[in-house]
Structure 1
Amino acid sequence: MADDPKSAALYIVQDSAESTPSSTRQTRWQRVQEVIWDGGNRTKEERKLVQRLDIYIMSWATFGYFIRLLDSGNITNAYVSGMKEDLNFHGNQYNLLTTFFTCGYLVGQIPSQFLLTRIRPSIYLPTVELLWSILTFCFAAVPNVRTVFALRFLLGMLESPFAVGVLTLMGSWYTPRELSKRIAIFYSASYAASMFSGYLQAAIYRGMNGTAGLPGWRWLFIFCGIISIWGPIWGYYAIPDNPYTTKARWMTQDHIEKYRKRMEQIDRRKPVPLSWAKVRKIATHWPLYVFTFTLICHCVVTQPLNYFAVWLKSLDRFTVYQINLFPTAAQATGLVFTLLYGWLSDGINKRWQILVIPATLNFIGMVIVASGPTYGLTFFGYLLNATSWGFWPVLYAWAIELMHKDMEERAIVIGVAQTFGQAFIAWVPVLILNVGKYAPRFHMGFSIMSGISVLEFASIFLIRYFAQREEKKDAQDGVEEIVPEAKDVLSA
């Protein structure tokens, strides 16, 4: 029996668990540390390894997402701060700003996924960031609505590699107890960007409107371009590809070996070239369809915040400064709750249980904004909708864990889910949230979204069902593999 490697491994695990001295077991304080950050039962050396990842990967990724959401979100602030009147927007053209951006995103997504498998992310991703920054400056000189649409399309194409690239990168370096909170930090940059955009536009409108003959909304894009340029500069140095192919200058060979061992311990395997057999396997596996369905629902039911400022503008009771400022309350709410979900999910090692919270809050918020009983309650409904945006980071942390053995599947599933999620918000808001027809209440659109919110809630349990079914199948396959070997050992 001792000669059998599987039996030997089993005894090693059992012996180590039974013989672990009480001094090394996880204390209550270590458990608290685990919830707060990545403390708990781990070595000082491992903590330093993770801290190095945070300094480089997280700083680049979070700032990169911040500037993307800052630049793309500024279109709303510019629209309500004079761009609508200066460029003569009318009818449903506000909705088309999102549509053109999303169409560019969809066109760029599949080619981008292909390029990410052929070009090192440490080169490809910051180069795209650099082009993005250049394009941001161009918005300050747009002469008409058609030019805005064209630039929005190009902006969408340049955004398509980023989120998928970052999530693939995180899944290649972080363990399950580290992942959710970091995706939450990454995603919370969108709230920080939207808040900062509101404050920035409000300040620019007050202080620079008319300076050098330019309206405040044009100065907004100039300042954003100046802020954005630092992202790609840092990215060329900070992005480490994956542990098996990295050439990062901030890692020693000893560090690389230790990072690889961390991934091997949780069965995160080395990337392999895509083949038609692998593509067919992914295409017939449940995560591709179930996670895509869930993300479609989530993308649709988080659209109300894009119309918060439009609703405030329609009330004719607030100044331009206040219209830019008030939505930051929703962004601040989303920021706090997104981080809270990520921390709790990692700290108590729960995924679906945490997802139930934002899904429930989303439904309540959707019902309130759909009915719009009073100004105060409608404002509160928008804030509740913001609390549900933290659904996304925990969902992707769960997805990465469930597909931990296959890096290619993780990348494809996340890419396809992102693509279809964006595809639906390209046409659904135009259809049911038409500003020209349904503003400012959007009763029909928000009512439909209330029903989709129920589907989002149900999708959590759909994922759980398939995950449990696969876990049982894997366990059964393991037993069937061990039993014949055990018989051979006994007969010997």
Structure 2
Amino acid sequence: MGLLQNAKNGLRIAGGRRPSSREEKRLLAKIDWFILSYCCLMYFSNYLDRSNISNAYVSGMREELHMVGTEFNKINTIFTCGYIIGMIPNNLLLQVVSPRIWFPCMQIVWAVLTFCTSTVGNVKQIYAIRFFQGMAESSTFVGTHYVLGSWYKPTELGWRSGIFTSSGLVGTLFSGILQAAVYRSLNGRAGRSGWRWLFVIDGIITLPIALYGFLVFPDVPKTTKAFYLSPEERELARTRLDQNTNLEQAKSRPLSWALVRKILSSWRWYACSLLFAISGETESFGSNNLMGQFLKGIGGYTVDQIDNYPSGVMAVAIVSTIVCATWTDRTGVRWPVLIYMSVACIISSICILVWSSPTALKFFAYYLAGASYAGQATTFAWANQICADNDQERAVVLASMNMWNNAVNAWWSIVFYPATDAPRFRKGMIAMIAVCIATLLATWLVYFLERREWRNRDPRSGRESVDKEGLPGSSGDVQKNQNSPTVVDSDTRSVASEKQ
């Protein structure tokens, strides 16, 4: 218990630690600007495209292409299938192809496919386009989390992951505004319907972002040749994570079946994949626009109100994501965010299940459910830390987490949130409560397995012990490794001396 308590104390200090030198501050400022600006713009355009297929459907595409039955649902399912298939190959290709080349190339692919969507003559052509678009867009989310984990310390990951995740939510918010503006000003111009112009505008927005990535994206520390980083800053970027990660073990190795066996024999792949496969479904309130369907189902609201009121869900999502991500960096712990979002969604579900409750309470419940998005950035930051000692494993685990979540997404909404259940969604509310309870159990499982791995590390190996968030180790291990060449930060040493 003393060993674990010392680790917790060291973690509190490390979690709030700022860059230790002027050089490190300058490096962080540069990579924050060039990495986050590009990744956020890329993710924004990604979500803009995803959301605009729904906006196009209700803005004339359905009638013009004579879509019937569940054809729109099939578009989303086929996109998800392409997204699932592309995740792991995209992340592994980042080990072979420079991210500065791969990310923009994938953007150009989905921009060209977006232009093609504006010319389709039937829904089957959209099926084919959306499948390949899903494969290209699957490079963005997990690929960015892989890159973030390559540049930032564990105590720096949460806030950056939160900013990145929020950019996608902003894309969702902006999509409706863009559709309305395009439809009003361009519908019928040059013989094109407003929904067709929407995809033209999407493609035009995407291409300059891809060019920006070609010019400024810095790859990862071990391969970066960014013109804005001096040789000293490149070296600092390679060495500054030394206190959190055994860099020798974290080096990329050739892809092989031995690597696959190693990954599949570890708890990390199974537990982290399970965690996000389950916890990701807490976002179902927002991703299925249940509030919009609720408002339309009970009646009494204008079209503008039905479009605008659910924006509050995304607003709560953005605030929750950034606040929680910042808090996890300050404290160094991730799991409380998953508890927060699970409890919030349980409360929301109960408020909606009790149908006799006031409408104002139901509004509150739907807005509160926006808290579910806070777990996305936190969960991937946590996985980045857990797998920090192996690049390939980290790439596969991050991709698998999103892959399994999307595998569940492909059928989850059809079973539990069909439009025919609006406005009450009784099955969905019960499913949400069950998912939240399962999320709490999965969170405990990852928490337990991570700490068991930490306790089982061999102190004679010369490695610094890694505490419960992948940060520099406890005082007990500092004492055991006094002759080790490993760097131990002064804050952790001070905690050890206090305990002595």
Q: Give the TM interval when normalised to the shorter protein.
A: 0.7 to 0.9
2:443 corresponds to which residue?
460
| 2:129 aligned partner | 151
- After superposition, residues 112-261 of structure 1 pair within 5 angstroms as 112-261=90-239
Q: Alignment partner of 2:373: what SS?
A: coil
1:286 is aligned, of 264, 267, 271, to 267
| 1:312–1:138 CA distance, 2 compared to 1 (3 A) | farther
Contact 1:329-1:383 within 8 A present in 2 as well: yes
> Residues of 2 paired with 1:95 and 1:366: CA distance?
25
Q: Do the aligned partners of residues 176 and 484 (structure 1) sit closer, same or farther apart at CA in structure 2, a change above 3 Å counting?
A: closer
Equivalent residues in 2 for 1:278-427, closer than 5 Å: 278-308=259-289, 309-373=292-356, 375-427=359-411
Query: Partner amino acid for 1:300?
Result: E
Distance in 2 (CA, whole Å) between partners of 1:446 and 1:143 is 39
Cα distance change, pair 383–149 in 1 and its aligned pair in 2 (3 A): farther
1:343-374 residue CA offsets vs partner (Å, 9 max, x unmatched): 11101222112332122112222334455555
**Distance (Å, rounded) in 2 between the aligned partners of 1:84 and 1:441:** 26
Contact kept? 2:146, 2:395, Cα under 8 Å: yes
3-state SS of 1:160 partner: helix
Q: C-alpha separation between the residues in 1 aligned to 2:444 and 2:314? A: 28
1:272 corresponds to 2:253: yes
Question: Which deviations, in whole Å up to 9, do the C-alpha atoms of 1:365-399 show, x marking residues without a partner?
Answer: 23344555554333333222211111011111111
Q: How much does 1:205 deviate?
A: 3.5
Does the 8 A contact of 1:178 with 1:346 survive in 2? yes
C-alpha deviation, 1:479, in angstroms: 10
Q: Indicate if the aligned counterparts of 1:292 and 1:417 stay in contact, CA closer than 8 A.
A: yes
Aligned residues of 2:67 and 2:123 also touching (Cα < 8 A):
yes
Give me the whole-angstrom Cα distance separating, in 1, the residues matched to 2:274 and 2:481.
Answer: 41
Tell me how far apart the structure 1 counterparts of residues 123 and 305 of structure 2 sit (CA, whole Å).
25
Q: Measure how far apart 1:115 and its partner are.
A: 2.6
> Could you say which residue in structure 2 is the equivalent of 1:21?
none
Q: Which deviates more, 300-309 or 60-69?
A: 300-309
Classify the secondary structure of the residue corresponding to 1:303: helix
What amino acid sits opposite 2:126 in the alignment?
Answer: V
Q: 1:93 to 1:304 in 2, by over 3 A?
A: farther
RMSD (Å), alpha carbons: 2.9
Letter in 2 for 1:198: G
Amino acid at match of 1:418: N
Distance 2:266 2:437 in 1: 25
Query: Which residue in the other structure is 2:495 paired with?
Result: none
Provide the rounded CA distance (Å) in 2 between the counterparts of 1:485 and 1:383.
50
Given the alignment of the two structures, is residue 433 of structure 1 paired with residue 404 of structure 2, yes or no?
no
Deviates most, 57-66 or 106-115: 106-115
SS of alignment partner, residue 133 of structure 2? helix
Instruction: Determine helix, strand or coil for the equivalent of 1:90.
Output: coil
Structure 1 pair 322–305 and aligned structure 2 pair: CA distance change class (3 A): same
Is there any run of 5+ residues in structure 2 with no aligned partner, and where? 1-12, 465-476, 483-500
Q: Distance in 2 between matches of 1:370 and 1:90?
A: 31
Using a 3 Å threshold, how does the CA distance of structure 1 residues 378 and 372 change in structure 2: closer, same or farther?
Answer: farther
Determine the C-alpha separation between the residues in 1 that align with 2:20 and 2:140: 32
318-327 vs 195-204, which moves further: 318-327
What amino acid is aligned across from residue 156 of structure 2 in structure 1? E
Structure 1, unmatched stretches of 5+, are: 1-30, 487-492
Q: Cα deviations across residues 146-179 of structure 1 (Å, max 9, x unaligned)?
A: 2332222122111112212111111111111211
Q: Percent identity?
A: 34
Change (3 A) 1:452 1:280: same
CA contact 2:459–2:480 (8 Å) conserved in 1: no
Cα distance, 1:370–1:203 mapped onto 2, change above 3 Å: farther
Query: Which amino acid in the other structure matches residue 163 of structure 1?
Result: F
Q: Report if the CA contact (8 A) 2:87-2:142 is conserved.
A: no
Of residues 306-315 and 405-414 in structure 1, the stretch that sits farther from structure 2 once superposed is 306-315
- Does residue 469 (structure 1) correspond to residue 447 (structure 2)? The answer is no
Match of 2:427 in 1: 444
- Look up the equivalent residue of 1:401 and give its one-letter code: Q
Cα deviation digits, residues 90-142 of structure 1 (max 9, x gap): 33333323211110112222332343232222211210111111222222233
Measure, in 2, the Cα distance between the counterparts of 1:50 and 1:485: 30
Deviates most, 461-470 or 210-219: 210-219
2:181 is matched by which residue type in structure 1? Answer: A
Tell me the secondary structure at the aligned position of residue 265 of structure 1. coil
Q: Tell me, in whole angstroms, the C-alpha distance in 2 between the residues paired with 1:327 and 1:195.
A: 10
CA distance in 2, matches of 1:152, 1:274: 30
